[in-house]
Amino acid sequence: MDKMAATRIVEPASAIRTTVKRKAPSGHSAAQHPVLKLLKKVLPPLVVFVLFVGGWELIVRLYGIAPYILPKPSDIVTAAANNSTNLIASVSTTIIEALIGFAISVVLGIGVAILLALSKTVEKSVYPYAIILQTIPVVAIAPIIVIWFGAGINAIVIISFLISFFPILSNTLIGLNSTDQNMKNLFYLYNASKLQTIWKLRFPAALPYMMAGLKISCSSAVVGAIVGEYIAGIGGGQGGLGYGITVAATRLQTPYLFACGLAAAILGIVFFLIINLISNKLLKSWHESAMK
């Protein structure tokens, strides 16, 4: 009787396991199908974009709004195509200026943050002036920069650097100062020097904060380059997007003005996506913000 009872008890359990094994893969594969995941990610913003652009085109056509007041999306595309040579040249110039300004801000921002983190006295002495520098409107000091460094790419790069410098400095410093105290005590017990503690412990711990600062600054560098082009821009065929926007505004070429503005927005988005990709590569194996 005991053997028969044991057989009756075991058989349903094995049948359940068989049923689960048969059903689980189909549902799992459907949920993890790459095409469905891509559609879920891309489709909602794509639908919103189509509705927005379509509604914009329809409203302007229905009300007969003049192109110099509010151009249709089709007018913007036409203006960009007709002025493609100038637009590409302007985008290329702005990319170079923004990249140089951003690179300088990364090097100096991280370097100064490390120096401030090594000494609380230095941090209390220097950091307030970094805050003051950030609060001064760039438009107010841009003419002084032009007087000192001359009109052209030098002044534009410096303006781009000034706008993108502080987020990197501030976020990196916060990350360096947010290291776990128990880990710092452990390094102290092992007689690690300040530089060893910075490089082996505090710098890796500050990496998520640093990447957050880079994400802010990369787009700010583009804004700074365009602002610099308004004040100290290069004219003619070497002008950037700021120069193109200024010329289009003075000539009431509103469709091309919108095209330049959209190009600047796309440029900032591309910069952000590149930094975001680098951030995910560096953090995905250990930090929750990038782990899937």
What gap in Å lies between CA 255 and CA 11, rounded to an integer? 75
The pLDDT score that the predictor gives to residue 66 is 93
Q: Is 271 left (phi over 0), alpha (psi -120 to 50) or beta?
A: alpha
What gap in Å lies between CA 52 and CA 55, rounded to an integer? 5
The tens digit of pLDDT for each residue in 111-154 reads 999 999 998 899 999 999 988 888 888 888 888 898 898 888 89
The pLDDT score that the predictor gives to residue 32 is 59
Say whether pLDDT at 254 is over 50.
Answer: yes
The pLDDT score that the predictor gives to residue 20 is 45
In terms of C-beta density within 10 A (0-12 exposed, 13-18 middle, 19 or more buried), how is residue 7 classed? exposed
What gap in Å lies between CA 45 and CA 81, rounded to an integer? 25
What gap in Å lies between CA 91 and CA 85, rounded to an integer? 10
Is residue 226 within 8 A of residue 240, CB to CB? The reply is yes
Residue 133 lies in a domain: yes
The pLDDT score that the predictor gives to residue 53 is 95
Q: What is the overall mean pLDDT for the chain?
A: 86
> Residue holding tokens 């469709």?
255
- Using a cut of 0.85, tell me whether the model's pTM lies above it: no
- Identify the weakest region by mean pLDDT among 38-47, 202-211, 269-278: 38-47
Which two tokens mark 265?
Answer: 């927005």
The pLDDT score that the predictor gives to residue 234 is 64
Kindly report the CATH number assigned to the domain that includes residue 125. 1.10.3720.10
Domain encompassing residue 192: 73-283
The tens digit of pLDDT for each residue in 5-31 reads 444 444 444 444 444 444 444 444 445
Say whether pLDDT at 2 is over 80.
Answer: no
Is residue 221 within 8 A of residue 271, CB to CB? The reply is yes
Is residue 244 within 8 A of residue 254, CB to CB? The reply is no
Say whether pLDDT at 34 is over 50.
Answer: yes
Helix (H) or strand (E) holding 50: helix 34-63
The pLDDT score that the predictor gives to residue 138 is 84
Say whether pLDDT at 176 is over 90.
Answer: yes
Residue 258 lies in a domain: yes
The pLDDT score that the predictor gives to residue 4 is 46
Instruction: Return the DSSP state at 237.
Output: G
Indicate whether 16 and 98 sit together in one domain.
Answer: no
Which two tokens mark 217?
Answer: 């600054």
Total structural domains in the chain? Answer: 2
Mean pLDDT of 233-262: 86
Residue 62 lies in a domain: no
The pLDDT score that the predictor gives to residue 17 is 46
The tens digit of pLDDT for each residue in 71-108 reads 999 999 999 999 999 999 999 999 999 999 999 999 99
Counting DSSP H helices and E strands in the chain, the numbers are 12, 0
Between these two residues, 197 and 24, which has the higher pLDDT value?
Answer: 197
Residue 242 lies in a domain: yes
Q: Distances in Å between the alpha carbon of 112 and those of 69, 171, 233?
A: 47, 12, 29
Is residue 73 within 8 A of residue 57, CB to CB? The reply is yes
Between these two residues, 259 and 286, which has the higher pLDDT value?
Answer: 259
Longest Cα pair distance anywhere in the chain, in angstroms? 103
Instruction: Return the DSSP state at 290.
Output: T
The residue type of 46 is L
Q: Distances in Å between the alpha carbon of 44 and those of 1, 21, 79, 103, 195?
A: 63, 34, 29, 35, 48
Q: What Rg, from alpha-carbon coordinates, does the chain have?
A: 28
The pLDDT score that the predictor gives to residue 5 is 47
Indicate whether 147 and 228 sit together in one domain.
Answer: yes
Closest CA to 145 of 83, 46, 229, 49: 229
Indicate whether 101 and 227 sit together in one domain.
Answer: yes
The pLDDT score that the predictor gives to residue 237 is 54
What gap in Å lies between CA 28 and CA 253, rounded to an integer? 55
Indicate whether 20 and 133 sit together in one domain.
Answer: no
Indicate whether 150 and 238 sit together in one domain.
Answer: yes
The pLDDT score that the predictor gives to residue 18 is 46
- Identify the weakest region by mean pLDDT among 5-19, 141-155, 163-177, 199-213: 5-19
The pLDDT score that the predictor gives to residue 136 is 87
Instruction: Return the DSSP state at 136.
Output: S
Which two tokens mark 79?
Answer: 């203006």
What gap in Å lies between CA 77 and CA 81, rounded to an integer? 6
Q: Under 8 Å CB-to-CB from 50, ≥6 apart: which residues?
A: none
Residue 276 lies in a domain: yes
Indicate whether 195 and 106 sit together in one domain.
Answer: yes
